[in-house]
Every structure is written in structure tokens, then in C-alpha cells.
Copies of this chain bind each other. A is one copy, B any other.
Amino acid sequence: MGVTPDTIILGDCIESLRKLPDRSVDLVFADPPYNLQLGGDLLRPDNSKVDAVDDEWDQFESFEAYDKFTRAWLAECRRVLKDDGAIWVIGSYHNIFRVGTALQDAGFWVLNDIIWRKSNPMPNFKGTRFTNAHETLIWASKSRGARRYTFNYDAMKMANDELQMRSDWTLPLCTGEERLKDETGAKAHPTQKPEALLHRVILASTKPGDIILDPFFGTGTTGAAARRLGRRYIGLERDPGYAKLAKERIAKVVPISPEDLDVMGSKRAEPRVPFGQIVEAGLLRPGDTLYCPKGERAARVRADGSLVIGEMAGSIHKVGAMVQSAPACNGWTYWHFKSDKGLAPIDVLRAKVRSQMAA
């Protein structure tokens, strides 16, 4: 009946979708072709050439053709989705309006549109438009009536240092170590998404063990994030080369332990600056240990940026206060991590993230 999770299915996405059973997945994450319509080459002011996305899979004859394709895969995704499931689709102004309209027409119910603000976007080299510094994600439930979609409100609030998570997320592009390379050292895939983005999507809208379907799997960012966070995945990909890279990549991921996945389930109150983002950015990992200034007390980091010591759990500030029996505590200066130079306050990690966001 069902499909074995944690697999990559090779082949055309719509054909593969047709073989999946009704109401069998908890979440769909889709990064479809954007249908960019580029002119000729684009040169930077230093005369170097921009490595454009001109792959065959992004070419469509017309908006009609793109719509037809979009509506076909969306209809199948909706069929495959459980009634309390949800979908995420990411896109740019080239395609996102058409995707959003198709979603609504298919009966999905939009819950939010989310802006991925890029801290380091490519500039507009010719000075002709505003720097295209964001992409848009649409989050939608299967239907208007479906009230029981998963939303881990408190985990998101915790990850945003006790302020409600907003609809705009500031995150850097996928570059450096994280970016998969081919044998020649060139980027393996032209549009690899940062795992931090998928981390937040998955933490917000799934439960541990949930099955996440990605119909445009590429090099498997969704699979990597799913495995790391104790979720399962089904990836559809038509390019065997990408599928192979994805498989190898996911195999290397170390899932975080179940107790670290146990995110906050109740409310608290205190102020400013997202510790959860330190975890998303990979500067600390769920399961890492933090220490008080003298090192005699240790707390464990969880996936949503909450800390645990014994029975105590909460934000960095709250837990810091509790272990000292103090009315309040600045967690940023109280908690330390082990660096190669000994214990260092986590505030230095915040500074790192801030410098990324300042852009």
C-alpha cells in the first residue's frame, strides 16, 4: 500500500506522484522551476559572467504551459496529502503569483505567505531595478475547513526568543561548505536552498516521524533537514545525478536525538534576540552542551533553541535564572559554549548571526 519513506523515487514528478496513494503524506515541500525568462548573458561591472539558471528544466513555452504543469503537480500533491496536511511552495516573482493562484484554485487554503529575506543577495548589476533580495514561500492547508494543520506555535516563538515568529525570515544564501560541489568544484545544483530554511519550515509545520514529500528533490535539502529533525521524507527527482548526490548527502546526516526534538509545549515570557536562529544557522547544534560561567553547570540545547537541565526547560534566560534561583538572567552572557579557546559566551555567536543579518 503505502510507500517506504526515506527514499528517492527516480522519474518524472507527475508520473511518480500518480503512483503514490491518497492521503499518505503529512507535508509537501516544493521548490518547482521558477520559469525565469532571461535574455542574453549578464556581465558584472568587472566583466565576469553571471552563472545563469538556463537549464532545460526551467524552460516553458508560455505562461499557459507553466500553469498547466503547475496545476497538474499541485492536484496530485493535494490528492496524496492527508486531510490535516499542508503544503509549502517556494518561488520568486517570476512564478509565485501563478503558483499561488493555482493553489487557491485547487482548493488549498493559504495560511501565510513567508518572505525569505536574503542577507546576502546578488546585486542588480546594471542599476535597472531594486535588488531582488527575497523569495516567497506560500504555506497552505489542504482545504479551507482544515483547522487541524500542524503549527508548532510555541516552538516558533521560542526559536524567536519568545516573540511571535513573523512572516519575514532573514537567512543567508546557501554558500561555502554547505553548498554541494561536483567533481570539478563547481556548484552541483544551480538552486540549492539553505538547510536553515528547511529547518524552520519543518520545525514549524510537522511533528517528529511525519512524512514529508518533496516533488522537486534536487540535491535533497528537504531530505537532509527531515532526517536531521527526526522526520521522514519521500523525494521525487528525475535527474539520476542529483538523486545520487542527495542520497550520499542525506546518509551523512546525523539525526538529532529524540529528547532534543522535544520542543516547547507551553508559554513563558521574557525579552529579545533569537537564540533559535543560532541553532538554525548551525553555530550550535541540538544536543550541544552549554555551561554556566564557571563551568560547573551544564544544559543541553534543543532544536527550537530551548535549554534543558534535568526537569527544567525553557529559554536561555529562563533556565539561567532557574539554576541560579535568581529572578532574572541574561542568558546571552550567562551561558557559554566550549570553543577551541575554552569557554566563550554564546553572545559571540549572536554577534556572528547579527553580522549576517545586518545586511
Contacts and interface: CB of A to CB of B under 8 A. Distances in A.
Interface of A: 43, 47, 56, 59-60, 63, 92-94, 96-101, 103-105, 107, 110-115, 117, 121, 123-124, 127-134, 136, 138-139, 143-144, 151, 153-154, 156-157, 164-168, 204, 324, 326-329
Given A56-B143, A117-B117, A121-B166, 16 more contacts: A56-B144, A60-B105, A63-B104, A63-B105, A92-B113, A93-B100, A96-B97, A97-B97, A97-B103, A97-B138, A100-B100, A112-B132, A128-B151, A130-B165, A131-B165, A168-B168
B127 A153 contact: yes
Nearest to A143: B56
A131 B164 contact: yes
A168 B115 CA distance: 9
A184 to B, nearest CB: 24
Nearest to A107: B56
Contacts of A43: 327-328
B98 A104 contact: yes
B47 A328 contact: yes
Nearest to A98: B101
Nearest to A46: B326
12 contacts: A43-B328, A47-B328, A47-B329, A56-B143, A97-B97, A97-B101, A114-B130, A124-B164, A127-B154, A130-B204, A132-B167, A133-B168
Contacts of A329: 47
A108 to B, nearest CB: 11
B164 A136 contact: no
Contact of A115 (B60, B98, B134, B154): B134
A255 to B, nearest CB: 26
